[in-house]
Amino acid sequence: MYRIKTFILPLFALLFSAPLMADVHPEQRLLSAVDAIQDTRIADAETILKGLIQERPKFKLANMLYADLLKSKIQPLDVPGAGLGNSEERQNLLSEIKLRLQAKHKDQYENLVPAALTRLDDSYLHAFVVDLDQSRLFVFENYAEQPKLVADYFVSMGRGGPEKEKRGDLRTPLGVYFIQSYIPPDRLADKYGAGAYPINYPNAWDEMQGRTGDGIWLHGTRSGTYNRPPLASEGCVVLPNDDLREVGAYITLGQTPVLIGNGIQWLPADEWKQKKVEVSAIFEEWVNDWESRNTDNYLSHYSKDFLTDKKDYAYWATHKRRIAKYKKTIKVEASDVSILKHPNEDLMVTTFHQNYKSDNFVSQAWKRQYWRKEADGNWRIIYEGEIPAPTVSHLAKNSL
């Protein structure tokens, strides 16, 4: 009989059974092995881990658990990964297994929606939410204008942790971002793996806060490497190559949002719907006040710290008062509206297509606004500008 002490049991106490199938995701197979260990089905666990390592020889966590199982045949083990000593690698692996175990309980998100995904027009097919605190990327399908969780993946972040402030700090930024483009692997160094998706860091809000740096991507891992530790990149969000390929199938370039937070607030569906109504009303009031040609009411939606095209609030107010004198009618149609909240700040980002018509001027443009909750409790626009139109569609699985 295998002599395996209960050192593994407390660590894996949150597990429940998973199917023993060779074609399921490597993480699920790993957790199935952990389930088998907890159930003292040691032979099953050994078989699962051996097969997993044969297919993913550089899956270090699987290698560590397999080594522990083999050593337990000879002597009792007091702690996981004892053969690695107190090395940085062992600490990384222990951190990784803890995070993967937390993600095991996916039922905790049933009937919950991230508060940050406030509103998505039905033209938005998917949205990503990255919780750096859990090293997890969640994929949401925009189902009947309510986000529905359809997949989630383990990710690595910058070695410096969350909250990027300056170039070279090795931190991953927090905020509301959008995937801008796709770089195929034949144009990248091998360390980026199966491709890369740059996001728009620094965005307008980051620049207003004096944050520097660039080149923040979602990308894959070096050839032969399954995944990297939780803290491993230079600031990017990194996925195993196969996972990146799957994620790519959900992406519309220029449109798919990536919300990155250090901890994510989840709301019951009914509460989320109420918040959506409240936040939508703020945006719609801005549109209505613009159409009313009451310039004072319209300008009340703008912060005194407002900027657009390097022009401040004073310039904006003077300009709007001047042109309002010559308007008899104003009609503003806002479509494809998304309203997304910063996961960790009192900031929300609206993106929409604006169709403006007055008696003497017509224009169309894609716009993005940053709204800040100010000291009096009101939300006001602190930045507004035009953006390129998103591509119609992009299925990266066809190009990766």
Is the Cα dihedral 226, 230, 234, 239 positive or negative?
A: positive
How many CB atoms are located within 10 Å of the residue 148 CB? 13
What are the residue ranges spanned by the domains of the chain?
8-103, 109-266, 268-387
Q: What is the pTM of this model?
A: 0.89
- How far apart, in whole angstroms, are the C-alpha atoms of residue 162 and residue 169? 10
- How far apart, in whole angstroms, are the C-alpha atoms of residue 233 and residue 16? 31
Task: Point out the least confidently predicted range of 74-83, 127-136, 153-162, 266-275.
Answer: 74-83
The owner of tokens 């060779």 is 22
pLDDT confidence tier of residue 10, bands split at 50, 70 and 90: very low
334: pLDDT strictly greater than 70: yes
pLDDT confidence tier of residue 392, bands split at 50, 70 and 90: low
Question: Looking at residues 85-92, what average pLDDT do you find?
Answer: 84
Question: Looking at residues 157-180, what average pLDDT do you find?
Answer: 97
Quote the mean pLDDT of the chain.
89
Q: What are phi and psi of 320, to 5 degrees?
A: -70, -35
Q: Is 347:372 a contact under the CB 8 Å cutoff?
A: yes
Report which residue type is found at 249. A
CA distances from 108 to 13, 85, 266 (A): 16, 35, 10
Architecture of the domain delimited by 268-387: Roll (3.10)
Q: For residue 1, what pLDDT is reported?
A: 22
Architecture of the domain delimited by 109-266: Beta Barrel (2.40)
Selection from 281, 283, 237 nearest residue 258 by Cα: 237
Question: Looking at residues 357-361, what average pLDDT do you find?
Answer: 93
3-state secondary structure 153-190: EECEEECCEECCCCCCCCEECCEEEEECCCECHHHCCH
397: pLDDT strictly greater than 80: no
Beta strands 347-358 and 330-341: pairing type? antiparallel
Q: Is 197:217 a contact under the CB 8 Å cutoff?
A: yes
pLDDT tens-digit readout, 196-227 = 999 999 999 999 999 999 999 999 999 989 99
Contacts of 188 (CB under 8 A, 6+ apart): 195, 196, 219
Selection from 182, 173, 181 nearest residue 201 by Cα: 173
3: pLDDT strictly greater than 60: no
Say if 109-266 and 268-387 have the same CATH topology.
Answer: no
Question: Looking at residues 239-267, what average pLDDT do you find?
Answer: 96
pLDDT tens-digit readout, 171-185 = 999 999 999 999 999
- How far apart, in whole angstroms, are the C-alpha atoms of residue 211 and residue 228? 26
353: pLDDT strictly greater than 60: yes
- Please provide the distance, in angstroms rounded to a whole number, between the alpha carbons at the two ends of the chain: 47
Question: Looking at residues 148-154, what average pLDDT do you find?
Answer: 95
Q: Is 365:357 a contact under the CB 8 Å cutoff?
A: no
CA distances from 132 to 140, 146, 157, 198, 312 (A): 17, 23, 7, 18, 34
Q: Is 303:313 a contact under the CB 8 Å cutoff?
A: yes
Q: For residue 399, what pLDDT is reported?
A: 39
- How far apart, in whole angstroms, are the C-alpha atoms of residue 257 and residue 140? 10
User: Which percentage of the chain shows pLDDT scores above 70?
Assistant: 92
Q: For residue 394, what pLDDT is reported?
A: 44
Q: Is 257:178 a contact under the CB 8 Å cutoff?
A: yes
Of residues 10 and 296, which shows the higher confidence score?
Answer: 296
7: pLDDT strictly greater than 60: no
Burial class (CB in 10 A: 0-12, 13-18, 19+), 191: middle
- How far apart, in whole angstroms, are the C-alpha atoms of residue 228 and residue 59? 9
Strongest mean pLDDT among 101-105, 127-131, 320-324: 127-131
Q: For residue 4, what pLDDT is reported?
A: 36
Question: Looking at residues 119-137, what average pLDDT do you find?
Answer: 95
2: pLDDT strictly greater than 70: no
Give the SS3 label for residue 323: helix
Task: Point out the least confidently predicted range of 37-41, 118-122, 169-173, 253-257.
Answer: 37-41
Q: For residue 104, what pLDDT is reported?
A: 79
Which spans in 249-389 are helix H? 269-291, 295-299, 313-324
Give the SS3 label for residue 355: strand
- How far apart, in whole angstroms, are the C-alpha atoms of residue 140 and residue 131? 13
- How far apart, in whole angstroms, are the C-alpha atoms of residue 290 and residue 332? 8
pLDDT tens-digit readout, 56-82 = 999 999 999 999 888 888 877 667 777
Give the SS3 label for residue 350: strand
Q: Tokens standing for 46? A: 């050994």
